[in-house]
Amino acid sequence: MLVKELIASIGSNKVSQTESDLYNFSKDESSHTPVEPDVVVFPESQEDILEVLKIARKFHTSVVPYGAGSGLEGQVIPIQKGISMSFERMNQVVEFQHEDMLITVQAGMTRLQLNEFVNRHGLYFPIDPGADATIGGMTATNASGTTAVKFGSMRDQLLDLKVIMADGKVIHTGSKAKKSSSGYHLTGLFAGSEGTLGIITEITLRLHGIPEHTIAARCTFKTIEECASAAQTILMSGTPVLRMELVDANSIKQVNEYGGYSYPEEASLFFEFSGSRLSATEDAETTKLVCTELGCQNFVTAIGSNERALLWKARHEMAYAYRHMKGMSSTGADVCVPISKLPQMVEYARKLLDESGLHGGTFGHVGDGNFHTIVMYDPTKTHEKQKADHTNDQLALLAISLGGTCTGEHGVGLGKKKFQLQEHGEALMVMKQMKNLLDPMNILNPGKIFP
């Protein structure tokens, strides 16, 4: 009945129940258990989405927006089955205001599509989670990545969202002004709400000028704690870095094997500096000086764009290098803590990994206190999965007790629900009240965020 009404309403070419579609929309890149939706819809317009929502309300069926499926916490898994809503046909530029360095895109446009479009105008969108996620998905999870130390998270780059509410209301959450003190800040509220408060259909983003000059660099220290301390010193010095990534020896080894690289298999920092030629060079030199004083064993800079691309390719392949180990599953912590707590967190992560006897590593965006600990396990062995989950849990709990968060950038989805009360306390009740207010039938991505 549901499917019939969908077909009657938006047309059969936008509704699918093929085996491959149901399978594709059952999962993301995490190891959370897939669940197939009852049906997948491929809206091509706001009107289509409004129709789907009307039918969802009628049948009391869940609607789960789906971007590129590159999420890591099961946000797009339709755990109550129902309707998965693909944004792959809504991936166009709505308006490009070159002179204002603004663009409005549909939610299904991916990060690389966006950059391909704006790069030829000398502009770029800097948020870089590694995967070629959709802008809608990145907004819904408040994604960030290697450039967060300079550009923050998605939320910091948003000016306006067009959102379709559960009741069919269509709202704009902001405007095209670079700042505003007018009314409540709904833009920030919908960003990171993982499709639970409304369906984000259009996003207005700040763009940035492509820097004149960029320098990449890497260096190694004896221990990962020394890396974390060096990162803290660089931040305190006020030297502007575009990226500053920490990678432990295990992870370097892993990516060397995966990608055929030959990086020194030691605790490492990877950097990127950008700006004018003069300022980028100065920043790289200041950083080199700080690292050398703190006992860094080498400091290699890469200026040519191929050389830089290779270095960052390796860093971006890190998660894949683990996740694509044959026959293995992985679980990943995504904690973010005040920078001064990083050495303690990183040490604890290594201790937990050692105790578990499982394979894994630590790497992440040390510039903002966010780092990942990936733990590999054999999914056929229950005790390995338990140990991996235990490691993950202990890291989240320590991060929260140190004033941090259980998720710096992956979002809550299914995997971090159990930490929400611990992290937010009474505020979780306020969040839940808002969910009930804006989606009283609980049809928008139900079962996510709230425990």
Q: Site residues for a copy of itself, window 233-252 (CB under 8 A)? A: 235-238, 240
3-state secondary structure the chain: CHHHHHHHHHCHHHEECCHHHHHHCCCCCCCCCCCCCCEEECCCCHHHHHHHHHHHHHHCCCEEEECCCCCCCCCCCCCCCCEEEECCCCCCEEEEEHHHCEEEEECCCEHHHHHHHHHCCCEECCCCCCCCCEHHHHHHCCCCCCCHHHHCCHHHHEEEEEEECCCCCEEECCCCCCCCCCCCCHHHHHCCCCCCCCEEEEEEEECEECCCEEEEEEEEECCHHHHHHHHHHHHHCCCCCCEEEEECHHHHHHHHHHHCCCCCCCEEEEEEEEECHHHHHHHHHHHHHHHHHCCCCEEEEECCHHHHHHHHHHHHHHHHHHHCCCCCEEEEEEEECCHHHHHHHHHHHHHHHHHHCCCEEEEEEHHHCEEEEEEEECCCCHHHHHHHHHHHHHHHHHHHHCCCECECCCCCCCCCHHHHHHHHCCHHHHHHHHHHHHCCCCCECCCCCCC
Which range, of 9-17, 22-30, 255-263, 417-425, touches a copy of itself by CB under 8 A?
417-425
With CB under 8 A as the contact rule, the residue among 7, 294, 339, 397 that binds a copy of itself is: 339
Which C-beta is closer to a copy of itself: that of 108 or that of 408? 408
Which C-beta is closer to a copy of itself: that of 1 or that of 437? 437
Residue 121 CB, nearest approach to a copy of itself (Å): 10
Q: Label residues 168-205 b or e (16+ Cβ within 10 Å = b).
A: eeeeebbeeeeeeeeeeebbbbbbbbbbbbbbbbbbbb
Which C-beta is closer to a copy of itself: that of 37 or that of 71? 71
Residue 249 CB, nearest approach to a copy of itself (Å): 26
CA distance 24 to 66: 10
Say whether residue 144 binds a copy of itself (CB under 8 A): yes
Which range, of 2-10, 86-94, 143-151, 380-388, touches a copy of itself by CB under 8 A?
143-151
Residue 368 CB, nearest approach to a copy of itself (Å): 4
Residue 150 CB, nearest approach to a copy of itself (Å): 11
Say whether residue 259 binds a copy of itself (CB under 8 A): no
Say whether residue 336 binds a copy of itself (CB under 8 A): yes
Say whether residue 142 binds a copy of itself (CB under 8 A): yes
Pick out residues in 10-39 that bind a copy of itself (CB under 8 A): none
Which range, of 37-45, 137-145, 219-227, 382-390, touches a copy of itself by CB under 8 A?
137-145
Say whether residue 175 binds a copy of itself (CB under 8 A): yes
Residue 352 CB, nearest approach to a copy of itself (Å): 20
Which C-beta is closer to a copy of itself: that of 26 or that of 142? 142
Residue type, 112: L
With CB under 8 A as the contact rule, the residue among 18, 20, 181, 262 that binds a copy of itself is: 181
Say whether residue 344 binds a copy of itself (CB under 8 A): no
Interface size with a copy of itself, residues (CB under 8 A): 93
Which C-beta is closer to a copy of itself: that of 2 or that of 93? 93
Give the x/- contact pattern for a copy of itself in 198-217, rule: CB under 8 A: ----------xx-xx-----
Residue 274 CB, nearest approach to a copy of itself (Å): 10
Question: Nearest 5 degrees, angle CA 43-CA 48-CA 50?
Answer: 125
Which C-beta is closer to a copy of itself: that of 165 or that of 300? 165
Q: Label residues 275-306 b or e (16+ Cβ within 10 Å = b).
A: beeeebbebbebbbebbeeeebeebebbeeee
Say whether residue 441 binds a copy of itself (CB under 8 A): no
Quick one: residue 273, left, alpha or beta (phi over 0 = left, psi -120 to 50 = alpha)?
beta
Place of tokens 């004896």: 222
Pick out residues in 77-136 that bind a copy of itself (CB under 8 A): 97, 99-102
Say whether residue 433 binds a copy of itself (CB under 8 A): yes
With CB under 8 A as the contact rule, the residue among 61, 84, 153, 220 that binds a copy of itself is: 153
With CB under 8 A as the contact rule, the residue among 404, 415, 446, 447 that binds a copy of itself is: 404
CA distance 123 to 126: 9
Say whether residue 231 binds a copy of itself (CB under 8 A): no
With CB under 8 A as the contact rule, the residue among 340, 347, 378, 389 that binds a copy of itself is: 340
Say whether residue 420 binds a copy of itself (CB under 8 A): yes
Residue 177 CB, nearest approach to a copy of itself (Å): 4
Which C-beta is closer to a copy of itself: that of 26 or that of 173? 173
Give the x/- contact pattern for a copy of itself in 296-335, rule: CB under 8 A: --------------------------------------x-
